[in-house]
Amino acid sequence: MVRIIVWLLAAWVVISVLGAVVKGLFWLAVVGVVLFVGTAAYGAIKSKGRKEIR
């Protein structure tokens, strides 16, 4: 599960950078940032819940 979240975070960073670099694709940067934040929050919630079970 952690591996998938890390891959998603990396993909969102690449999409954000691509959207920021290519003029006219600013919306892609915004989408990438939103997805990055959402994935990071999901990963934080899941990992916090896993620690409590142990």
Could you tell me the mean pLDDT of each successive run of 10 residues in the chain, 54 residues long?
85 87 83 90 82 54
Model pLDDT, residue 4 = 86
Model pLDDT, residue 37 = 92
Q: Are 18 and 10 in contact (CB under 8 A)?
A: no
CA-closest candidate to residue 47, choices 16, 13, 3, 17 = 3
Model pLDDT, residue 46 = 85
Domains in the chain: boundaries? 2-48
Q: Are 11 and 34 in contact (CB under 8 A)?
A: no
